[in-house]
């Protein structure tokens, strides 16, 4: 009991009403935190009985004491998995289905094409259909994967992947079953010539076993992939924190993916793939001693194949060489040859402390697959209509022995709004507040924003120096989106519901560095833009008066009006050359300054001619008299403004 980690206590008390029961679990799957603590509860034999009925005898109580299945446990405690309410249940189901689909496709080496449909059957009943083009699942495994909790491939390894626990999709199926009584329907096909298997599965919650209701071979119009259909009681909400936002954000973080989403309103939203590279497959790594907790170490000692301490340390951990293993053993008062079986709990603690004290190399970082700055730009382009985009990928870093990598992206202006509007110059518009979009291992985080390390970093950044207005400790008031992605083999969430990233100093520091790197580029852009509009404004004023001056001069002396107008216009253009950037150098300003301007890497600026000052357009469109030059200019600027925005206006500058 004394070794029991604090977390276990909390968890046991979560199992309301089960305190008196002898909890027994199937031992074969056990690595996740939850699972581990449950196992430990069992191992230490919960025997303290808080008898609420004093008259019961040990014998009568023994009748009630029986094994509970993990499925049964989660059926009762579904909030632990994100099924707290109807709205969240739908989102969580979508999330699990989409995450699984993406992981399957990437592992199978195909560009994911995901079709997701939410169909409203009655007021609070929905059917979710999710189909991918992944490698499919072999027939024998289908019932296990979808009909059994804690069955999966991602569970036992320290590797960067979206899902980590293997509970998700079967839990969604179980939720559907509990709320509607309808089984989960799965169709999977592993290749062109292969048959498609159609299963209807229910979960036997008592035994945590799939209950096969139907099993047949069907004809499907697609070559390979998996389709899952779950009917559930849920509610669909539009806007923030809804399925649509989740899909939008997933598309941003996964530009290599095509997602087609059909909502209950029958509207189809398509996010097409715009990156031709799959994310690199990451390597699995062994745990780094600095990231391991005492309980985990105990379990590892119990489960290892090694017989002696030295061999165990150097084979089970990364960055522990035989030499370092020797050093650790000496510090802990052991030798490399000490038999593991002979090591008691207090010795393990000594070994643990020795491991923490020893200086070790940081873990290798090839286990991380960041999205990449360019892919983030493509993702932002796909999902957010702005005029300025920038992104940056920080080098890998380490917190508590876990390697991680931070990526930051920013989108500004364009259809998000103008800076003036958010500064309150235009009273008719509400000021726009910046939006933070957060990702952990490419999975969007929608809830608990203010508890998240990323959000805190954004709020703490001094945006004023990058040209955005910001009140103390709030998001900046600007048409502005910040993207923050954390890639890690183990993302430290603040809670089991995986909604906010914990606030580690190392993580915070990396986020801040990423934010200021992108912020500097944004600041440069905003300053340039202001300067440009400043000059454009001047030019506008000069042009406005030229007509008057030409008329006046004509009234006083003999001259050719058109020639004089042309000459003066030319001078005006020359006097306000800086404004030309807006007229013919859209976005090229940055590209022009090759070499010296390395800080503008990974930045896209879109055509902004549709944002020319209204006064100017008005001036040109009213040129009813003989002013051929102005008319020509008007045509010119119209032409540029009708250019297809994304294709012609952008210019990506690659790193390297």
Partner 1 sequence: MAKKKSNSKKAPKTVIKKRSKRGANGVKTTNKLEGLAESVVDNAFGRREPAIDIPIRALSNVSFNPKTRYIEMGDRCQQRSLFNYGQAKRFMQTLLVASKCKELVDADKTASIRQIYYLAKHTIKGTKEKTFDGQDESDPVIEDLEVALEALREELHVFAGSKGALIGELTFVDSGDTIDATKLGSGGYAIPSIVEPSVIQFKKCKAEYVLHVEKDTVWRRFVEDRFWEKHRCILTHGGGQPSRGVRRMLYRMHDELKLPVVCLLDNDPWGYYIYSVIKQGSINLAFESSRMAVPNAQFIGVSSFDYERFDLTDDVKIELDANDIKRAKQILNYPWFAGKKPWEREIKQMIKNGFKMEVEALCSKNLTFVTDEYTPQRLKQRKSWLD
Least separation, in Å, of the C-beta of 573 and partner 1?
A: 10
Smallest gap, in angstroms, from Cβ of residue 549 to partner 1? Answer: 5
Task: State yes or no: residue 567 binds partner 1 (CB under 8 A).
Answer: yes
Piece of 230-238, 334-342, 455-463, 561-569 that binds partner 1 (CB under 8 A) = 561-569
b or e along 336-354 (b: 16 or more beta carbons within 10 Å of the residue's beta carbon)? bebeeeebeeebbebbbeb
DSSP 242-256: SHHHHHHHHHHH-TT
Task: Between 208 and 637, name the residue whose CB sits nearer to partner 1.
Answer: 637
Candidates 6-14, 193-201, 249-257, 568-576: pick the segment binding partner 1 (CB under 8 A). 568-576
Return the bridge partners of 130, or none: 116, 228
User: Applying CB under 8 A, which of residues 49, 302, 531, 544 lies at the interface with partner 1?
Assistant: 544
Nearer to partner 1, 58 or 556 (CB): 556
Which member of 6, 58, 140, 556 binds partner 1 (CB under 8 A)? 556
User: In the bound complex, what is the minimum distance in angstroms from residue 480's beta carbon to partner 1?
Assistant: 30
- Between CA 144 and CA 229 the distance in angstroms is 16
Residue 523 or 613 with smaller CB distance to partner 1: 613
Separation of alpha carbons 452 and 499, rounded Å: 8
Q: Could you tell me the two tokens for 433?
A: 């507040």
Residue of 401, 447, 185, 379 whose CA lies nearest to 292: 401
Choose the stretch contacting partner 1; rule: CB under 8 A; options: 177-185, 370-378, 443-451, 557-565: 557-565
Sign of the C-alpha dihedral computed for residues 304, 306, 310 and 315 taken in this order: negative
85 interacts with partner 1 by CB under 8 A: no
Asked if residue 568 binds partner 1 (CB under 8 A), the reply is yes
Q: Which of 86, 200, 538, 629 binds partner 1 (CB under 8 A)?
A: 538
Q: Which of 72, 85, 97 is nearest to 149 (CA)?
A: 72
Q: CB-wise, 59 or 548, nearer to partner 1?
A: 548
Q: Is 197 helix (H, G, I), strand (E, B) or coil?
A: strand
Count residues contacting partner 1 (CB under 8 A)?
A: 31
CA 202/CA 533 separation, integer angstroms: 64
Among 124, 415, 545, 639, interactor with partner 1 by CB under 8 A: 545
Based on the shown chain and the rule CB under 8 A, indicate whether residue 580 belongs to the binding site for partner 1: no
User: Which residue lies nearer to partner 1 by CB, 504 or 542?
Assistant: 542
Is 564 a binding residue for partner 1 by CB under 8 A? The answer is yes
Kindly identify the residues of this chain, within the stretch 597-636, that bind partner 1 according to CB under 8 A: 615, 618-623, 625
Distances (CA, A) of 422 to 276, 306, 396, 429: 37, 63, 36, 8
Residues contacting residue 58 through CB under 8 Å, at least 6 positions apart: none
When asked if residue 141 is in the footprint of partner 1 (CB under 8 A), the reply is no
DSSP collapsed to 3 states, 150-190: CCCCCCCCECCCCCCCCCHHHHHHHHHHHHHCCCEEEEEEC
Member of 551, 562, 577, 584 binding partner 1 (CB under 8 A): 551
Give CA–CA dist 468/413, Å, rounded.
11
Beta-carbon count within 10 A of 10 CB? 10
Minimal distance, residue 433 CB to partner 1, in Å: 33
Q: Encode 242-275: b = buried (16+ Cβ within 10 Å), e = exposed.
A: bbbbbbbbbbbbbbbbbbbbbbeeeeeeebebbb
Residue 556 CB, shortest distance to partner 1, in Å, is 4
Residues 57-76 that bind partner 1 (CB under 8 A): none
Q: Which residue's CB is nearer to partner 1, number 6 or number 556?
A: 556
Residue nearer to partner 1 on the CB measure, 45 or 574: 574
Question: CB of 636: closest distance to partner 1 in angstroms?
Answer: 17
Using CB atoms within 10 Å of the CB of residue 513, give its burial: 0 to 12 exposed, 13 to 18 middle, 19+ buried. Answer: middle
Q: How far is the CB of 419 from partner 1 (least distance, A)?
A: 21
* Among the residue ranges 175-183, 346-354, 383-391, 549-557, the one whose residues contact partner 1 (CB under 8 A): 549-557
Among 265, 575, 599, 632, contact with partner 1 (rule: CB under 8 A): 575
Choice from 547, 586, 633, 645 touching partner 1 (CB under 8 A): 547
Reading the block at residue 568, the tokens are 């003066």
Least Å distance between CB 634 and partner 1? Answer: 11
Decide: is 552 part of the binding site for partner 1 (CB under 8 A): yes
Tell me if 148 sits within 8 A of 206, measured CB to CB.
Answer: no
Q: Name the segment binding partner 1 (CB under 8 A); options: 165-173, 265-273, 542-550, 640-648.
A: 542-550
Contacts of 503 (CB under 8 A, 6+ apart): 453, 456
Sheet (strand 225-233) strand order: 209-218, 196-204, 184-189, 225-233, 125-131, 113-122, 258-262, 268-271
96, two tokens: 């699990």
Q: At closest approach, how far in Å is the CB of 544 from partner 1?
A: 6
DSSP percent split of the chain into helix, strand, coil, nearest 5: 45, 15, 40
- CB 364, min distance to partner 1, A: 59
Q: Which is nearer to partner 1, 72 or 582 (CB)?
A: 582
d(CA 155, CA 311): 25
Shortest distance in whole angstroms from residue 607 CB to partner 1: 25
How far apart are the C-alpha atoms of 135 and 155, rounded to whole Å?
20
Residue 7 touching partner 1 (CB under 8 A): no
Q: Which residues pair with 604 in a beta bridge?
A: 389
Q: Identify the residue among 214, 268, 541, 626 touching partner 1 (CB under 8 A).
A: 541
- Decide: is 572 part of the binding site for partner 1 (CB under 8 A): yes
Parallel, antiparallel, or unpaired: how do β-strands 388-393 and 397-399 relate? unpaired
How far apart are alpha carbons 87 and 150 in whole angstroms? 24
Which C-beta is closer to partner 1: that of 47 or that of 557?
Answer: 557
Residues 469-508 contacting partner 1, CB under 8 A: none
Count CB-CB contacts under 10 A for residue 433.
14
Q: Distance (Å, rounded) from C-alpha 359 to C-alpha 324?
A: 9
With contacts defined by CB under 8 A, name the span among 327-335, 389-397, 523-531, 543-551 that binds partner 1: 543-551
* Residues that bind partner 1 in the complex, under the rule CB under 8 A: 538, 541-542, 544-545, 547-549, 551-553, 555-557, 559, 563-564, 567-568, 570-572, 575, 615, 618-623, 625
């Amino acid at each position: 009991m004394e070794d029991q980690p604090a977390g276990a206590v909390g968890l046991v008390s979560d199992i309301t009403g089960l305190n008196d029961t002898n909890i027994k679990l199937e031992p074969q799957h056990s690595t996740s935190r939850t699972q581990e603590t449950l196992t430990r509860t069992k191992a230490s034999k919960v025997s303290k009985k808080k008898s609420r009925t004093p008259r019961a005898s040990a014998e009568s109580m023994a009748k009630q004491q029986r094994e509970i299945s993990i499925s049964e446990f989660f059926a009762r405690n579904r909030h632990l998995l994100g099924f707290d309410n109807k709205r969240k249940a739908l989102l969580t189901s979508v999330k699990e289905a989409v995450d699984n689909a993406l992981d399957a496709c990437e592992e199978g080496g195909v560009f994911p094409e995901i079709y997701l449909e939410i169909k409203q059957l009655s007021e609070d009943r929905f059917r979710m259909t999710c189909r991918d083009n992944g490698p499919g699942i072999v027939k024998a495994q289908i019932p296990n994967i979808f009909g059994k909790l804690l069955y999966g491939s991602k569970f036992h390894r320290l590797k960067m992947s979206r899902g980590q626990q293997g509970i998700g999709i079967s839990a969604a199926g179980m939720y559907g079953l509990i709320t509607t009584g309808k089984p989960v329907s799965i169709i999977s096909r592993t290749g062109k010539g292969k048959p498609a298997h159609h299963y209807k599965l229910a979960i036997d919650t008592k035994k945590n076993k799939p209950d096969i209701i139907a099993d047949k071979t069907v004809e499907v119009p697609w070559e390979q992939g998996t389709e899952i259909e779950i009917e559930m009681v849920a509610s669909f909400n539009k806007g923030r924190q809804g399925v649509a936002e989740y899909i939008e954000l997933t598309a941003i973080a996964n530009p290599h993916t095509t997602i087609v989403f059909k909502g209950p309103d029958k509207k189809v939203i398509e996010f097409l793939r715009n990156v031709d590279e799959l994310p690199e497959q990451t390597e699995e790594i062994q745990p780094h001693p600095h990231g391991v907790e005492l309980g985990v170490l105990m379990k590892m000692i119990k489960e290892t194949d090694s017989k002696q301490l030295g061999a165990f340390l150097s084979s089970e951990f990364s960055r522990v060489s035989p030499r370092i293993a020797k050093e650790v053993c000496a510090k802990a008062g052991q030798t490399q040859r000490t038999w593991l079986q002979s090591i008691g709990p207090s010795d393990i603690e000594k070994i643990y402390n020795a491991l923490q004290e020893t200086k070790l190399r940081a873990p290798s970082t090839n286990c991380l697959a960041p999205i990449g700055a360019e892919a983030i730009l493509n993702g932002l382009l796909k999902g957010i209509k702005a005029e300025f985009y920038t992104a940056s990928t920080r080098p890998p870093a380490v917190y508590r022995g876990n390697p991680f990598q931070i990526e930051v992206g920013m989108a500004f202006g364009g259809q998000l709004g103008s800076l003036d509007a958010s500064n309150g110059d235009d009273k008719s518009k509400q000021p726009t507040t910046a939006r933070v979009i957060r990702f952990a291992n490419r999975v969007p985080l929608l809830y608990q924003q203010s508890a998240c390390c990323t959000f805190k970093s954004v709020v703490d950044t001094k945006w004023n120096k990058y040209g955005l207005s910001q009140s103390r400790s709030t998001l900046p008031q600007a048409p502005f989106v910040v993207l923050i992605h954390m890639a890690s083999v183990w993302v430290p969430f603040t809670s089991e519901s995986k909604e906010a990233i914990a606030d580690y100093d190392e993580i915070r520091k990396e986020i801040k560095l990423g934010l200021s790197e992108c912020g500097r580029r944004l600041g440069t852009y905003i300053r340039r833009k202001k300067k440009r509009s400043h000059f454009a404004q001047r030019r506008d004023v000069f042009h406005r008066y030229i007509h008057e001056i030409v008329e006046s001069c004509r009234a006083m002396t003999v001259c050719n009006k058109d020639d004089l107008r042309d000459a003066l216009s030319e001078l005006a253009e020359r006097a306000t050359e800086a404004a030309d950037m807006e007229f013919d150098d859209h976005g090229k300003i940055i590209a022009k300054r090759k070499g010296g301007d390395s800080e503008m890497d990974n930045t896209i600026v879109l055509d902004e001619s549709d944002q020319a000052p209204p006064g100017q357009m008005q001036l040109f469109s009213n040129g009813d008299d003989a002013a051929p030059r102005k008319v020509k200019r008007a045509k010119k600027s119209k032409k540029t403004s009708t250019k297809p925005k994304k294709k012609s206006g952008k210019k990506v500058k690659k790193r390297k």
